[in-house]
Amino acid sequence: MSFPRMLAVGLVFLFACAGWWILGAATAVRSSDLFGRLGGQVESLWGTPLVQQAPAFSVNVPGSQQTRPVMPSKNEIKVGLTTDYRKKGLMWFSTYNCSFDGTYTIKNSEEVAQKICVHFDFPSKSGTYDNFSATLSGKSLNIPVNTQDGISEIIELAPGESKEIRLTYRTRGLNNWHYKMDPKVGRVQNLSLVVTTDFEAVDYPEGSLSAMDTQKSGKGAILSWTATDLISNDDIGVIIPEKLNPGPLTTRITFFAPVCLLFFFVLVGTINVLYKVDIHPMHYWFVAAGFFAFHLLLSYMAGIINIHLAFAISAVVSVALVTSYMYAALKRQFPWKVAIAGQLFYLVLFSYSFFFKGITGLTIAIGSVITLAVLMRVTADVNWNNVFTGRAKPVSTPPPLPE
């Protein structure tokens, strides 16, 4: 291959990169714009990230207007989190249903009767709550409810007496769930907090306590936090797993496209050398256009049909375009089966690795090493002086690839 042709192929590659950059930027803008615009709608319809504050217990200090916090002697909390994803445009939102059941035991350790004030804040001031219940030692508390200010009640305890206050509700949230300790107390005695999920991919927010025990339960998990006397400034939280979002996924695949094309151009150039096929820079141009068709179709079909189906259709169309064109343009001189294998490996496999978190880099690394090994093997006997100084001439019968 002469230097002018190599330069022309390089320009083709750069033009293709520019096209992918424009397409990737457009997809990213569409995704971020939809996320910002639709995120508020989802929150208004479904709710916000839930942060449940532990109830505050306090008692008046005799002879003053001040209050001092009181620690519950027992904290038993049961939470159920079930995913219920909502899709808007190109984005899936991690919405979920939450059931809360908290029982707190208050004991009067003084020798005189006490009146203990209980204040409970809802996790979201604008949220909607179903099956709300507040009971004191099994008796229902018919108290006014204000989700903005929370609810307050006074518990009268005789010396040595203990009572249980139980609070339950069902609501909906988004992205993650938190439970915050009472910052005025700083300690939690006899804690038993159990979160039951319908998902196994459990993760915890930064700066939160991870579960002390995790058990698998069907398709979900049971997370437990237990402690006799816990002192911690950290919250307890669970992140709701994200569903595969077509917008960000197609954006990442599109921006990665030049790497796929570069590998395939190397393959075509190797075929040019080994088979002495006269491949013109315009052939490279149409090959790049066939690759671009894959990302163009994927970007616009992903928001309409299932992302996996969109990927499969786009891959079939792209492989058919490139292979049929190369076969029609170069006839039997071009090993079209090798071209199909190369495109499936470099375009389809590399791109599909983005569907799985954490393996994309490994897939590319392994593919690069395999490519290098094959190229070193099949070009070991090539006289590179002749390749870069002479012009390849078509031959009637292409030589077989070395095994």
Opening angle at CA 331, ends 325 and 332, nearest 5: 125
Q: Do the Cβ atoms of 71 and 189 come closer than 8 Å? A: yes
User: Which CATH class name applies to 50-239?
Assistant: mainly beta
Opening angle at CA 36, ends 32 and 31, nearest 5: 25
List residues bridging with 176 in a β-sheet: 239
Q: Looking at residue 392, what is its pLDDT?
A: 45
Q: Looking at residue 37, what is its pLDDT?
A: 56
Token pair for 18: 């520019």
How many Å is the Cα radius of gyration of the chain? 32
> Burial code of 38-61, b = ≥16 C-beta within 10 A, e = fewer?
beeebbeebbbbbbbbbbbbbbee
Is the pTM higher than 0.75? The answer reads: no
List residues bridging with 100 in a β-sheet: 79, 169
Q: Looking at residue 4, what is its pLDDT?
A: 78
Q: Where are the domains of the chain?
A: 3-32+245-389, 50-239
Q: Looking at residue 102, what is its pLDDT?
A: 94
Which of 200, 167, 199 is CA-nearest to residue 78?
167
Q: Looking at residue 400, what is its pLDDT?
A: 56
Q: Looking at residue 42, what is its pLDDT?
A: 62
Three-state SS for the chain is CCHHHHHHHHHHHHHHHHHHHHHHHHHHHHHHHHHHHHHHHHHHHHCCCEEEECCEEEEECCCCCCEEECCCCEEEEEEEEEECCEEECCEEECEEEEEEEEEEEEECCCCCCEEEEEEECCCCCCCCCEEEEEEECCEECCCCCCCCCCEEEEEEECCCCEEEEEEEEEEEEECEEEEECCCCCCEEEEEEEEEEECCCCCECCCCEECCCEEEEECCEEEEEEEEEEEECCCEEEEECCCCCCHHHHHHHHHHHHHHHHHHHHHHHHHHHHHHCCCCCHHHHHHHHHHHHHHHHHHHHHCCCCCHHHHHHHHHHHHHHHHHHHHHHHHHHHCCHHHHHHHHHHHHHHHHHHHHCCCCHHHHHHHHHHHHHHHHHHHCCCCCHHHHHHCCCCCCCCCCCCCC
pLDDT along the chain (403 residues), means of 10: 78 91 84 58 73 90 77 93 81 88 90 87 88 89 84 88 92 91 86 93 88 89 92 89 83 90 87 79 90 92 85 93 86 77 89 83 86 84 73 48 49
Nearby residues of 219 by Cβ (< 8 Å), 6 or more positions away: 198, 199, 200
Q: Looking at residue 79, what is its pLDDT?
A: 95
Opening angle at CA 153, ends 128 and 227, nearest 5: 80
Measure the CA–CA gap between 273 and 257, rounded to whole angstroms: 25
Q: Do the Cβ atoms of 34 and 91 come closer than 8 Å? A: yes
Token pair for 186: 């700083």
Residue whose token pair is 């049971």: 222
Q: Do the Cβ atoms of 164 and 72 come closer than 8 Å? A: no
